[in-house]
Amino acid sequence: MVDLRIEGVFIRLGEFDLRDISLTIEAGEYFCILGPTGAGKSVLIECIAGLLRPDRGRIFLGDQDVTPLTPEQRNIGYVPQDYALFPHMSVRRNIGFGLRVRRLPQKEIDKRVGQLAELLHIEPILEREPLHLSGGEKQRVALARALAVQPPVLLLDEPLAAVDEQTRDRLCADLRDIQRRAGVTVIHISHNFEETLAVADRIGVMNAGRMVQVGTRRQIFSAPATRFVAQFTRSENILPLAGSPRLLPDGRVRLPLDTGDEILAAPSEPLPNTPALAVVRPEAVRITPQNGEGTPKGLIPATLTRITERGHLLRLEARTDAGTSFVSLELRRDALLAGFQVGDRVHLHVPPEDVHLIPSEKDTGG
């Protein structure tokens, strides 16, 4: 296994620019590139695969500079979104294609195809035509075909875009399992945050041709670097600040919001120089009914303005008296017990340790 290093890759394709992407993906890592449609995710992996040649920048596989190499010289596995199984070949011939190109003896090809079929549980469909396979089967065959030539790096372009939600959960687990057993570094593209949370060791978030944040799942989830990342990862409480935070004697900071409200933050990292936004995940905000005995310290009085069903969660929207809107995700069971109704007076609790600050100068992605 080798690591993959991308240094300042830039490519212009008509109106679109992929702008100075630099990134290191460790050997054996499962790395997800997350971003909306048109962010440049596919362009980036096509550069890695050698299908597009960057105008500037270099790509290293281990110590080898692969930038000048053609796709066939790179030996990087590539599974496109539609899997692109060769329709004029059986599943067996599809999987063995790369091995035949390498002129391996037939015996060796048969052995390797058999091993991969076993790894991916596709032995019964080896003689079938790709046209008659289900989405899940196609994906497994495409993975087997890419893994057959033992690439050090495997690129998966939106591998779960065409499957339903239930199948997606199962396939996420399968992908991790296959990656571990095949011992391959995986770069997986997705526009679905939940999907990347389920598979990735680390996530790189892209927007408008830029890599806006790279970090662990935890970092992307709770410490978005820009307004865009916060929005894309559904941190629904993105609150503009009205002035500088005030440091309190206990180490916490008081944040004046542009509506006039104030919230507390207990940042675990040093404060950014010019914080502009406070971000709180909706899972962190708690809403409790008011019992008419004033507002306890640390809580903010508010009125429930909207209740939306989200499966086993309820999305509650509440507006403070000063006009700040907060979103909270509560377990449906808890919310039903509390008997929330639109118009109810409630208390908001915004845990200071869950408040994350985004500096203004970095806020360019959104």
Partner 1 sequence: MQAEATNPARASEQQAQKPTRSGRQGELLFAALLSTLLFAYAGFILAVIWADVAWLAMPGAESGKRGITKVLTSPDVATEVLTALKLSLVTSFISSILAMTVAIPSAYALSRYRLPFRSLIDTVIDLPIVIPPLIAGISLLIFFNQMGFGIQLEKWLRVVYSQRGIVVAQFFIASAFCIRATKAAIDQVNPRFESVARSLGCGPVRAFWQITLPLAKTGLMAGWIMTWARAMGEFAPIMVFAGATPLYTAVLPVTAFLNLSVGNIETSVAVTVLMIVIASVTLLLFKKLGGQGYLW
Does 16 sit near partner 1 (CB under 8 A)?
no
- Judged by CB under 8 A, the number of residues near partner 1 is 27
Distance CA 310, CA 316 (A): 10
Residues 6+ apart with CB under 8 A from 308: 314, 315, 317
Does 342 sit near partner 1 (CB under 8 A)?
no
Taken in order 328, 329, 331, 336, the sign of the CA dihedral is positive
Nearer of residues 145 and 210 to partner 1, judged by Cβ = 145
Nearer of residues 86 and 323 to partner 1, judged by Cβ = 86
Nearer of residues 72 and 293 to partner 1, judged by Cβ = 72
Nearer of residues 93 and 252 to partner 1, judged by Cβ = 93
Scanning the structure block, which residue is given the tokens 């995710």? 41
Does 170 sit near partner 1 (CB under 8 A)?
no
Q: Which residues, numbered 27-46, are part of the site for partner 1 (CB under 8 A)?
A: 46
Nearer of residues 130 and 204 to partner 1, judged by Cβ = 130
Nearer of residues 148 and 300 to partner 1, judged by Cβ = 148
Minimum distance between the CB of residue 41 and partner 1, rounded to whole angstroms?
16
Does 150 sit near partner 1 (CB under 8 A)?
no
Residues 62-101, mask of contacts with partner 1 (x by CB under 8 A): --------xxx-xxxxxxx-x-x-xxx--------xx--x
Tell me which stretch binds partner 1 (CB under 8 A): 124-132, 146-154, 224-232, 295-303. Answer: 146-154
Does 49 sit near partner 1 (CB under 8 A)?
yes
Does 15 sit near partner 1 (CB under 8 A)?
no
What are the φ/ψ torsions at residue 350 (nearest 5 degrees)?
Answer: -110, 100
The residue from 40, 50, 159, 204 that contacts partner 1 (CB under 8 A) is: 50
The closest alpha carbon to 10, from 36, 43, 34, belongs to 43
**Which stretches of the chain bind partner 1, using CB under 8 A?**
46, 49-51, 70-72, 74-80, 82, 84, 86-88, 97-98, 101-102, 145-146, 148-149
